[in-house]
Amino acid sequence: MTGCEITANAIKDFFGNNHLQTVSIPILQPAEPFLDMAGEDLRRRIFMTENENGDSLCLRPEFTIPVCIEHIKTGATTPRRYAYIGEVFRQSRAGENGFYQAGIEDLGDVDEANADARTLHDASALLQHISTNIDYTIFLGDQNVFASVLQGLGLVPTWQKRLLRSFGNAKQLRDLLHILAEPKSEQSLPDNLMKLVEAQDESELTNYIEEEMLDAGISPSAGRSPTEIARRLLEKQLLSSVKLTKPVLEALEEFLAIRLPLDDAEDALFDFGKKYELVSDQFLMPFKARNRAFLNKGIKLEAVEYDAAFGRPLDYYTGFVFEIRKNSGDVVIGGGRYNRLMTMLGADRPIPAVGFSVWLDRLMKDEESTIGFQKGQGK
């Protein structure tokens, strides 16, 4: 038995011992859900194709979205925990376009703090089950805390949404804060159109754009609709008209610079909230509950690094996110909470969800068991 087979069997044993339902996900997937929901970083790396009917398909770039679609399609009850192991496909400049992943998706547990703690515990336990000789560090972030800070500091909703979309992308977030500090008009429009934009009159602006499209022989149903164009113009105008005061900008920069062991993070966030008159109890309550759940699962808070600016490059994450990194810096496990995804994919009610993936190739690359995870080994 080869090292890769031993590793695959060890993972399957872990799944079985933890009463997880292992699912089989086809390699060829409908492309639309990934293009709509996975985020820019993943979208540009997807291998696209189409079937004989012209439907857009792709090689499976990750497991979370198709696992959730399968759950919805089968009408399964919750709570339910799924496990998987198999290959994902992403374009890479390094030439390695196929990677092996294993992971767990935890759906429907309304006790979110407990489910988050179980997810992080399972990720660490699976890592130790596969490889006992790896030194690693856990990094944790929380998009909900950032959202509460933005709201508490009084940013306009449009800017809150835009900054949240950039959470976890340090350069993009820094660029947006620079724009906020020194805004400038991004639009050069005809006077009559500019008047409607400045008046923030969506209805009149939509009608004007539709009439212009018809006069130019452009069908309003081709490409972006007049309503979408109008909303984008209004958003750009609003974004360019807002300037952050120096105290608010300094507060955001101070928050994003918070990085310390998780056992010290509560006090640091409380002090920050008190300093800037945020509703500390409200934005810290879920954070505190999750830390207590971590302790109940035997997770040492001092061994987890909290980074207020840390996020993950997938658009569907909504709260708690984490990565486990080798001391070399390689990310070997990544995951977090994605509560909005289930309804975005068609669920008839909100379903809380959290999960993680293990990058098996990265994990095993320095060990003998990396010799040829055979194609088709995993499901």
Binding residues for L-histidine are 62-64, 90, 101, 105, 312, 316-317
Which pairs with CB-CB distance under 8 Å and at least 24 residues apart come from 311-314?
311/141, 311/143, 311/167, 311/168, 311/169, 312/141, 312/168, 312/336, 313/39, 313/40, 313/41, 313/42, 313/168, 313/169, 314/38, 314/39, 314/41, 314/42, 314/62, 314/64, 314/338
Cα 231 to Cα 228: distance, rounded to the nearest angstrom: 5
End-to-end CA distance of the chain: 19
- Which amino acids are annotated as binding site, given as ranges? 62-64, 90, 101, 105, 312, 316-317
Cα 266 to Cα 289: distance, rounded to the nearest angstrom: 11
What backbone torsions phi and psi does residue 196 show, to the nearest 5 degrees?
A: -65, -40
- Helix H or strand E segment including 73: helix 64-74
